[in-house]
Structure 1
Amino acid sequence: MTSVSRRGALLLPLGLAAFASACAPQDPTMMMPADPSGRADPEQRALLETLQRLNPRPIEALSAAEARRQPSYADAVKVRARELANTNPGRVIGSFEDITISTLPAPLRARLYRPIVAHSRPLPLIVYFHGGGWVIADIETYDFSARALSRLSEALVLSVHYRQGPEFRFPTAHDDANAAYAWAVRNAASLGADPGRIAVAGESAGGNLALNTAILARDTRLPLPRAVAAIYPVAGVDLNTPSYQQFANAKPLNRPAIEWFVRNYTRGPQDLQDPRLDLVGKADLAGLPPVVLVNAEIDPLASDGQRLAEKLRAAGVPVAHRLYPGVTHEFFGADAVLTRAREAQEFVGAEMQRIFAAPAAATAPAPAGRRPMRRPAM
């Protein structure tokens, strides 16, 4: 987003009066449209207008601590739902509880969601990683998504909060995700889950963590997850793809925000060469379990989603991929106010149920010398 001071500088040739006018206090809602793309459907546009009324500052102008305190997209969903008098009965689940999982080198906070089911058999388990660019947000911010996954997949969902930058830089969040998955594999039965039916899921930065967790499981002696649900995952490091160019100023996620996340999580430019961040460019994706992939049209990450789907298919990985028009990054958890969010949640839930119901596929061991053997922190 262009700052007021920069606007003033651009208007200097028009004279001092224009410069003074540009620098005068303005209603933030008048500085840029709620939907800079002009492509949001009516429901999404109304939600973006609600977010704009909460007056979040451009994240690139904030410290990480400030960014964590300001209104979020999830806050806008809650406000918009109240305006519509929508209590969203579709999010009803059996129960949830906050727990601490005993991972190393640090214990991690988690929330366990239980669906309402008509039997007492062990349930599938989904280990879920929230978004936030590895810097902001937490379990509560993404509570809506985890509830929907639990209800529609008829599975337990373990939503894990990992350590974040800039306090803990790359690859800390990735290591924490690996440790959380290893913990879930060891403790599935004690949670009431079926150890043979564990999947991973995540949104945005969390989608990247979910994919990398599956890669680590493939490369080690951990059981491979039955599936990966990746919701608009961070999958590449090229900020000049078609969607980055088309939606450079989109809301709630745009190119300046992504650059800010990268600065706050990575240790330097060398980290962008790591296959864990550049999945579409450098990662080996062969041998992964089925991937359920969701993308939003109005999102700088949309092109990387298409590239990821193509690379997975070329590697022989089954992929169910849908791109939802008229909605933005972060739309998945907004089922209280967005029809497209409900459609996407139902798509992911149905795919997860289908995969959990199918016989487990035999996984061939990796050829000797092909992949490094990395043991996760337990």
Structure 2
Amino acid sequence: MQSLSRRASLFLPFGLAATLAACATETMPTTPPDPTGRADPQMRALLESLAQLGGKPIETLTPAEARRQPTMADAVKARQRALNLRTDPREIAQVRDLQIPGAGAFPLEARLYNPAPTPPRGQPIPRLPLIVYYHGGGFVIADLDTYDASARTLAADTGAMVLAVHYRQGPENRFPTAHDDAYAAYVWALQNAGQLNIDLSRVAVVGESAGGNLAINVAMMAREARQPLPVAMGLIYPVAGTDMTTQSYRENAMAKPLNAAMMRWFVQHYTNGPTDLRDPRLNVAEGAELRGLPKAIIVTAEIDPLRSEGQLLAQKLQVAGVQVSAEDFPGVTHEFFGADPAVLSKAGDAQRFVAGELRTAFLAPAAAVVAPQPRGRRVPRG
């Protein structure tokens, strides 16, 4: 394990790092859509669509400005239009916006995706599996709309309900607020299993990027609190460490849409300082106790600074006796998972991989669990 002083040198001084990034942007020429030159043709076309939307480097902006920048979801729609494809979201039988209680009963935005059509009158409504899903964005940016395509895909391809949960973000709410909110949302789902009409023995957690970090932390927190564990963890290019000197960081320091400077910016705005970098909730692969966790389904991307830590996490989980199913996808970047497969075929490959592993987990015999008493009230917004 690396010392704190080495990690601190990667992130501090925070103000200086941001200033240097801004100066570099002013003096250096605009980087190409695919600075690494390793993206496959479909991924390269998608990166070109993203570049044409005119976004500014996140690391040069304030959080408020960064939250208004075009996203990969916007680039996918632009690419769909260029290919004369439909841009409407994937159809799901029922989609409802909710408010649920987060940590300290703080209201969180959530969205429930139900892939099952309403049965004819008089027929019982089957209880479905549930995926509690956490979006990415470095704990600072993005929201439910940004990752709507991922949630819809998971619901459609697994036949499970998906509860996508927003959480409080930095710098307004720093570490560990997002982690506490994520766990509170999971507990709320368990406590309201009857109201949601879900099968309590078939609940999984899934997250992308920062959301992948939240997903595994939810499982660890449930283990420590002796709450029912999820049957599986879907960890899609997860934030799993705090070492920015890994091979994938070096190879993809200037990559798009995620690079090393952006990761430093995210850390600056979510953490309270260098001591947080030792916390096993952030430094999961090197610092967390991983024994006793459920099946892990891990996706990594070749052109992603987070690839090495995701692969290290897979190795550490296996050593800890956790069942792991992991795949690395060549020629694609961070944020590729939610793309329309007609735009990016490897997104479809990854989606089928994760959905297939989740369906297998839902079919496996589940340990008996006792439902907690309901607490908190669901408040529909539409």
Instruction: Report the TM-score when normalising by structure 2.
Output: 0.86
- Corresponding residue for 1:276? 281
Q: After superposition, what is the alpha-carbon deviation per residue over 1:103-149, rounded to whole angstroms, capped at 9, x for unaligned?
A: 34201110000114697310000000000000000000000000001
Equivalence map 1:295-374=2 (5 Å): 295-336=300-341, 337-361=343-367
Q: For residue 91 of structure 1, give the secondary structure of its aligned residue in structure 2.
A: coil
CA distance in 1 between partners of 2:110 and 2:133 (Å): 10
Q: Give the counterpart letter for 1:157 in structure 2.
A: V
Q: After superposition, what is the alpha-carbon deviation per residue over 1:12-31, rounded to whole angstroms, capped at 9, x for unaligned?
A: xxxxxxxxxx8xxxxxxx72
The alpha-carbon distance between structure 1 residues 8 and 78, as it changes in their structure 2 partners (threshold 3 A), is: closer
Moved more, 85-94 or 305-314: 85-94
CA distance in 2 between partners of 1:261 and 1:37 (Å): 22
CA distance in 2 between partners of 1:239 and 1:5 (Å): 21
- Corresponding residue for 2:246? 241
Answer yes or no: is the 8 Å Cα contact 1:116–1:151 preserved in 2.
no
Q: Give the counterpart letter for 1:100 in structure 2.
A: Q
Count how many residue pairs are aligned between Structure 1 and Structure 2: 346
- Corresponding residue for 1:67? 66
Answer yes or no: is the 8 Å Cα contact 2:136–2:142 preserved in 1.
yes
- Corresponding residue for 2:380? none
Please state how far the C-alpha of 1:86 moved relative to its aligned partner: 1.7
CA distance in 2 between partners of 1:311 and 1:190 (Å): 37
| 1:52 and 2:57 aligned | no
The alpha-carbon distance between structure 1 residues 7 and 76, as it changes in their structure 2 partners (threshold 3 A), is: closer
CA distance in 2 between partners of 1:145 and 1:33 (Å): 27
Please state how far the C-alpha of 1:192 moved relative to its aligned partner: 1.4
| 1:127 and 2:132 aligned | yes
Please state how far the C-alpha of 1:102 moved relative to its aligned partner: 2.7
| 1:35 and 2:34 aligned | yes
- Corresponding residue for 2:101? 102
Please state how far the C-alpha of 1:82 moved relative to its aligned partner: 1.4
The alpha-carbon distance between structure 1 residues 148 and 189, as it changes in their structure 2 partners (threshold 3 A), is: same
Equivalence map 1:192-207=2 (5 Å): 192-207=197-212
- Corresponding residue for 2:4? none
Please state how far the C-alpha of 1:90 moved relative to its aligned partner: 8.9
Q: For residue 67 of structure 2, give the secondary structure of its aligned residue in structure 1.
A: helix
Please state how far the C-alpha of 1:6 moved relative to its aligned partner: 4.3
Please state how far the C-alpha of 1:55 moved relative to its aligned partner: 1.2
Q: After superposition, what is the alpha-carbon deviation per residue over 1:265-293, rounded to whole angstroms, capped at 9, x for unaligned?
A: 00000000100000011000000000111
Structure 1 runs not aligned, ≥5 long: 10-21, 23-29, 364-376
Q: Give the counterpart letter for 1:346 in structure 2.
A: R
Q: Give the counterpart letter for 1:60 in structure 2.
A: E
Q: For residue 109 of structure 1, give the secondary structure of its aligned residue in structure 2.
A: strand
Equivalence map 1:155-304=2 (5 Å): 155-304=160-309
CA distance in 2 between partners of 1:104 and 1:276 (Å): 16
CA distance in 1 between partners of 2:226 and 2:67 (Å): 37
CA distance in 1 between partners of 2:25 and 2:31 (Å): 12
CA distance in 1 between partners of 2:219 and 2:130 (Å): 14
Q: For residue 318 of structure 2, give the secondary structure of its aligned residue in structure 1.
A: helix
Q: Percent of pairs identical after alignment?
A: 56
CA distance in 1 between partners of 2:197 and 2:85 (Å): 32
The alpha-carbon distance between structure 1 residues 131 and 7, as it changes in their structure 2 partners (threshold 3 A), is: closer
The alpha-carbon distance between structure 1 residues 301 and 339, as it changes in their structure 2 partners (threshold 3 A), is: same
- Corresponding residue for 1:151? 156
- Corresponding residue for 2:8? none
Q: After superposition, what is the alpha-carbon deviation per residue over 1:157-194, rounded to whole angstroms, capped at 9, x for unaligned?
A: 00000000000000000000010001011012211111
| Moved >4 Å (runs of 4+) | 1-9
Q: For residue 200 of structure 1, give the secondary structure of its aligned residue in structure 2.
A: strand
Bigger relative contact order (CA 8 A; separation at least 6): 2
CA distance in 2 between partners of 1:170 and 1:91 (Å): 34
Q: For residue 112 of structure 1, give the secondary structure of its aligned residue in structure 2.
A: strand
Answer yes or no: is the 8 Å Cα contact 1:117–1:154 preserved in 2.
no
The alpha-carbon distance between structure 1 residues 63 and 360, as it changes in their structure 2 partners (threshold 3 A), is: same
CA distance in 2 between partners of 1:5 and 1:201 (Å): 37
CA distance in 2 between partners of 1:305 and 1:353 (Å): 22
Please state how far the C-alpha of 1:88 moved relative to its aligned partner: 6.6
Answer yes or no: is the 8 Å Cα contact 1:207–1:231 preserved in 2.
yes
Please state how far the C-alpha of 1:325 moved relative to its aligned partner: 0.6
